């Protein structure tokens, strides 16, 4: 099948949205198990991301910038940084990571209703 840039971009937007929103809900003080879960998720995301070229570029990025999983701030800042790396490669505008704080809202209300908390 032919490449379709529109569909590929749509998948990218949907994926980044989930990725950043997940970071925004990651515990501020994660347990070791929380941190391991996030690390594993990121690794498998990079392995299974449906656009193969994107995934292999992303795996290179993970080698250069290992996932920061020690806290919500660390994880959100890291995800913003690696997304900016992708933006740079695709010649897109960079996002100001100082503004990541309230940008990703899951709409799910109560902070305490995260699985496992």
> What residues make contact with ligand FAD under the rule CB under 6 A?
8-9, 12-13, 15-16, 20, 49, 53-54, 57-58, 80, 83-84, 86-87, 90, 92, 95, 100
Q: How far apart are CA 110 and CA 99, in angstroms?
A: 22
* Shorter beta-carbon distance to ligand FAD: residue 88 or 117: 88
Closest by alpha carbon to 76, among 9, 113, 116, 25?
25
- In whole angstroms, the minimum distance from the beta carbon of 1 to ligand FAD comes to 16
Q: Is 3 helix (H, G, I), strand (E, B) or coil?
A: coil
Q: Which residues neighbour 58 within 8 Å (Cβ) at sequence distance 6 or greater?
A: 46, 49, 82, 86
- Choose between 26 and 58: whose C-beta lies nearer to ligand FAD: 58
Helix (H, G, I), strand (E, B) or coil at 38: helix
**Cα 107 to the chain's mean position, in Å?**
18
Residue 26 C-beta: closest distance to ligand FAD, Å: 14
Q: Which is nearer to ligand FAD, 52 or 109 (CB)?
A: 52
Q: How far is the CB of 6 from ligand FAD (least distance, A)?
A: 10
């Amino acid at each position: 099948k032919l490449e379709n840039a529109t569909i590929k971009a749509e998948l990218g937007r949907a994926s980044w949205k989930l990725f950043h929103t997940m970071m925004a809900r990651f515990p501020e003080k994660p347990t070791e198990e929380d941190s391991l879960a996030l690390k594993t998720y990121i690794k498998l995301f990079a392995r299974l991301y449906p656009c193969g070229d994107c995934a292999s570029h992303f795996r290179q990025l993970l080698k250069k910038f290992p996932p920061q999983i020690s806290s919500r701030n660390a994880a959100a800042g890291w995800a913003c940084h690696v997304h900016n790396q992708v933006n740079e490669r695709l010649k897109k505008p960079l996002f100001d990571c100082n503004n990541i704080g309230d940008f990703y809202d899951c709409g799910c209300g109560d902070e305490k209703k995260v699985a496992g908390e």
